[in-house]
Amino acid sequence: MKNLFTFLTLSLSLFFSSLFPSQIPGMVNYSDEEGLNCSYTYHLRQDKNGFIWIGSDNGLFRFDGKEFKQYGKKEGLKNIDIISCEPLPNGEVFILPFLNDFAYLKNGRVINLNINDYVKNQFSSSIPKVTRDGNRLYFYGNFNPQNIFIYENGKVKKMPVPLDYGKRSFATLRFEPHTYNLYLHDPHQGDILVYNITTGKKQHWKGGIGSMICEKGDLFVFLHKNTIEVYQLSAYSGIKKILSYDCSTQENVFYGLIDKNNKLWLNISNGGVLYFNQSLTEKKKTLDTPVKILERYVINNVLVDKDDNVWFNSRNNGVFFISKSLFANHINLPVKSNSEYIKAIAKDNGNILLGYNQSAGALISKNNKIQNITLDKGDKDENIAVYLKGNISIFGLSGKVIVHDMSNNTSKKIYCSLKNIVSYTPDSLFFCTSGGLLIYNLKSKKITTLFQERVYTVFPYDRKNLFIGSFSDLYKYNVRTGKKTLFLKGYYFTDIKKLDSHTYLGSTNLYGIIIFNTKGILRKIGRNNGLINDQVKKIEVENKNTFWASTNSGISRIELTAKNQRINNFTQTDGLPSDAVAGCVIKNDTIFIGTSKGLGIFSIKKLLTQEKFIHKKVVINSVSIENNEHYDLQKSLTAYAHNTVIFNLSFLDYTSLGKISYKYKLEGLNNSWQINNSSKIIFSSIPPGKYTFRVYGLGYNGKQSYASSDITFDIKPLFWQTWWFRLILVIIFIGTLLIIIFSYLHKKRNKKLEKMEYEKKIAELELQAIKAQINPHFIYNCLNSIQFLLYKKEYRETENYLDIFAKMIRKTLYYSEKTFMSIKDEVEYLTLYLDMEKLRVKDLFEYKIIISGQIDQNWTIPSLLIQPFVENAIKHGISGLKDRKGEIIISFDYTNVSLCITIEDNGPGISNQESLKKDNSFGVKLSHKRIETFKQLFDTNIFLEINTLTENNRQGTQIKLYIRPYEK
């Protein structure tokens, strides 16, 4: 992080350097095991996106922090001995091999320039010097250049240098594209010749004698007789010396570099690199003493990248990398010493005691001086715990405890299988061992056994009582009575500390942090709450609300609030020498963290200013659609639904050391975020539509890139997926369906019509049959009446009756052939019939026919339908009356939509409709049949309603017929 290292930072490297050849804690070595399969690595470059390019004897490599991509003979290089390359802003990479065969890389493809004849082996002895100006490169020879070659957009042209060198040999310093000035140097005389190619003008400056090591901008570095001299161009005085440094005779400098911060690096041929931690533009007369790095390796090139991480190209040992934070730790160390794998750490009165992973340790005093302590030479027994008080340092090894008196350098050994050391009283402490709990008196040096069971940790919470932790449980133990009580079951406590007067902290082997009091658990803090790891080794209390937890995954700072906690996690990416943290101690605002690769000291305040996000974005290198790879992502991308779409990603967070993952989603398909460790995100069978691919990079410890990288693309449908094709299918389908439906309905309608026609014919035959039955029935009844009159010898009445009967016969025969008759004809027919019946019974009844004014007498109704009900009223209604004269009332009325015909008599009445049905009146039965036949035949409704008038304090029967009339 940018602000973490302004405070004092200490890192101690390991004692056995063969195990950790990087020499700087946290330095990483990339070699063939990680994919860098080469022997020699030469120059390093970084492109605009942040990729690291490595020239090697086995081709050109591109590194994104996770994978090495190789460009060699298989990819098209004619010469795989690549000394250097020059990444250009337009994305091209110009490749500089040994002995010509220049090429360039564009859109992932190697393109050979084939200009060997054109340059005529002008670079056969060494690689050319290169000056970049935007997307244009100028390359030229190191000595007495004859031409300057210009590369741009895959083409090369040359510009002659019309200078007569004579017998002098000039080394080329550089070429300035904007002024066309060529800077040449005579290393023997120290003269600098500035020659303008276009005008031929020459300028002579007095410069440094010796060979130029490196140059940048207006700075030139020369080496002359083991002396480094730095010169600076000036518009007024030409060139002047500003700094110098005397190297030892053993420091054979063969190359140099001025980095992005104007700091000088010198490569030593017998191993290592010298780093001057000051800007060359600072107003100093001499260079400060450099720091020598990687002295056991020959370093060919150094690169300080955009984030101030440092890369070292080595001979035969791959590439070394160290992050900005760890490098700043190492350079700013006030204590220059090595340290081992730290297994335990303790403090007392400003002094710090370290226990290593062998029988040794070190004491760091208040003034940052380190004193190594060797306990048993050659003993590999590692430290489990350490304790420091005054001059007494106690090293708890796995097989013994060594009490070391630093005042006289004497030691005492106590053999036991130690698990922990815990302070008890000012003059005593606990030894937790596999055999029990021991009390060691610092003054008398005597040991007493308090508890004879395996103990892993202990903590006295008052004078009489202890918390004692076993492998699986925590107990309360009374020192006076010896009583042991189970307190917390199922927890393996590795450390216990007091947070305040009534609250305690317990680190566990599986369940994170347990906060408890003497009554029980108050709170649990684990990985699901933000803790970096559930396996916690040690706890260090900062204040009553804040403490630190050391784990194998880094260190966590936990700040308790009323209902929750605030957790900050720190790892190697934040400057820790290693993530394997054994423990820590705090002095004021400073925390000392012991790790497997050294000790780090940080300002807590500065440490908490860490960034929440990584200020980088994911690089979408290309998008593969089927077998076509697209590099120009500014152009619109299209694919088809059956295509496989692959996004090739890189997240250039080098401090995460390859522990990279990606959080992504495809908007338009699925809005939920997915996480993948692979740099290739693959989608198959995407439905047609417009999509946006969004991706975040996730670095080590889950830190996310500050913004997403987005790319939009279209999935076009295949012709059978297009809207018009679907529309045609829908139309065809609907048309076919309609044809099928219409055909089915047509057949069904025809069948129905045939059935209806058949039923109609049957109904008509039935109606004719009914009419044929009605006609004889009526005649039969009339003949009965005539016979009755003759029997009574009433001849005059018989004659009148026969006259009326003759008229009735004619009308009956006429209307029997008709299906419908008008209301007017029906009334006339009923009048004849009633008159005839009245004559027969000698005026035993009176009748009325009432026609409403709403009735149109031309309306038609079924013929001969009413007469049987009138006949029934006479025969069964009034024929038996003796106490009163009979009365029949026939009315025609119109109600809304129906014609209501009422036949009412004043006879004795009937009890219900069933009695009428049981009656043997043949005419009524025929009328019922005619009603049903009319309903079926003409799809009309005829309702028959029978009422008994006695139910309403009246006598008689009322029959109502509701018929929908037809207009004539």
pLDDT digits (tens, 9 = 90+) for 752-785: 877 777 666 655 655 555 555 445 666 777 777 7
pLDDT value at position 225?
84
User: What one-character DSSP code corresponds to residue 721?
Assistant: G
53 forms beta bridges with 45, 62
Using a CB cutoff of 8 Å and minimum separation of 24, what contacts does 514-521 make?
514/488, 515/560, 516/488, 518/461, 518/476, 520/488, 521/488
Least confident span in 324-333, 391-400, 531-540, 870-879:
324-333
Name the residue among 613, 611, 569, 561 with its Cα closest to residue 593.
Answer: 569
Name the residue among 671, 521, 542, 668 with its Cα closest to residue 608.
Answer: 542
Quote the radius of gyration of the chain (alpha carbons, Å). Answer: 57
Q: Is the pLDDT score of 386 beyond 60? A: yes
Q: Which stretches of 163-237 are assigned E, i.e. beta strand?
A: 171-176, 181-185, 191-196, 202-206, 211-216, 219-224, 227-234
pLDDT value at position 778?
62
Inter-axis angle of helices 922-938 and 723-791, nearest 10: 160
Return the residue matching tokens 């347990």: 514
Q: What mean pLDDT comes out for the span 702-717?
A: 90
Model confidence band, residue 5 (pLDDT cutoffs 50, 70, 90): very low
Give the contacts of 141 (CB within 8 A, at least 6 positions apart): 122, 123, 128, 129, 172
pLDDT value at position 952?
59
125 vs 499, higher pLDDT = 499
Inter-axis angle of helices 723-791 and 823-840, nearest 10: 20
Give the contacts of 604 (CB within 8 A, at least 6 positions apart): 542, 557, 586, 589, 590, 591
Name the residue among 790, 635, 658 with its Cα closest to residue 714.
Answer: 635
The average confidence (pLDDT) of the chain is 86
Q: Is the pLDDT score of 927 beyond 90? A: no
Amino acid at 753: L
Structural domains of the chain, ranges and CATH numbers in brackets:
208-322 (2.130.10.10), 619-721 (2.60.40.10), 732-963 (3.30.565.10)
Model confidence pLDDT, tens digit, residues 10-60 = 333 323 333 333 457 778 999 999 999 998 999 999 999 999 999 999 999
pLDDT value at position 22?
40
Pairwise CA distance, residues 214 & 247, whole Å: 16
Pairwise CA distance, residues 898 & 944, whole Å: 12
32 vs 369, higher pLDDT = 32
Model confidence pLDDT, tens digit, residues 59-68 = 999 999 999 9
Pairwise CA distance, residues 699 & 381, whole Å: 37
Q: Is the pLDDT score of 440 beyond 90? A: yes
pLDDT value at position 431?
96
Q: Is the pLDDT score of 704 beyond 80? A: yes
Model confidence band, residue 325 (pLDDT cutoffs 50, 70, 90): confident
Give the contacts of 925 (CB within 8 A, at least 6 positions apart): none
pLDDT value at position 509?
94
Name the residue among 291, 315, 287 with its Cα closest to residue 301.
Answer: 315
Q: Is the pLDDT score of 719 beyond 60? A: yes
Q: Is the pLDDT score of 192 beyond 70? A: yes
Collapsing DSSP to helix, strand or coil, 500 comes out as: strand
Model confidence band, residue 8 (pLDDT cutoffs 50, 70, 90): very low
Name the residue among 868, 832, 829, 821 with its Cα closest to residue 968.
Answer: 821
Name the residue among 101, 117, 110 with its Cα closest to residue 74.
Answer: 110
Amino acid at 875: K
Q: Is the pLDDT score of 578 beyond 50? A: yes
Tokens, residue 13: 């490297």
Pairwise CA distance, residues 887 & 881, whole Å: 10
Pairwise CA distance, residues 836 & 779, whole Å: 13
Name the residue among 541, 597, 548 with its Cα closest to residue 570.
Answer: 548
Model confidence pLDDT, tens digit, residues 153-162 = 999 999 999 9
Pairwise CA distance, residues 218 & 174, whole Å: 11
Amino acid at 317: N
Model confidence band, residue 389 (pLDDT cutoffs 50, 70, 90): very high
Q: No. of H helices and E strands in the chain? A: 9, 73
Tokens, residue 312: 């070292």
Q: What mean pLDDT comes out for the span 622-639?
A: 89
Return the residue matching tokens 């405070």: 7
pLDDT value at position 20?
35
69 forms beta bridges with 62
Collapsing DSSP to helix, strand or coil, 917 comes out as: helix
Name the residue among 349, 350, 434, 431 with its Cα closest to residue 395.
Answer: 431
Amino acid at 20: F
CA atoms within a 13 Å half-sphere pointing along the CA-CB vector of 554: 20
Tokens, residue 272: 């290592």
Tokens, residue 794: 């009433």
pLDDT value at position 4?
31
Q: Is the pLDDT score of 816 beyond 90? A: no
Q: How far is CA 690 from CA 351, 666, 712, 719, 759, in A?
A: 65, 10, 7, 17, 64
Amino acid at 365: S
Collapsing DSSP to helix, strand or coil, 816 comes out as: helix
Amino acid at 686: I
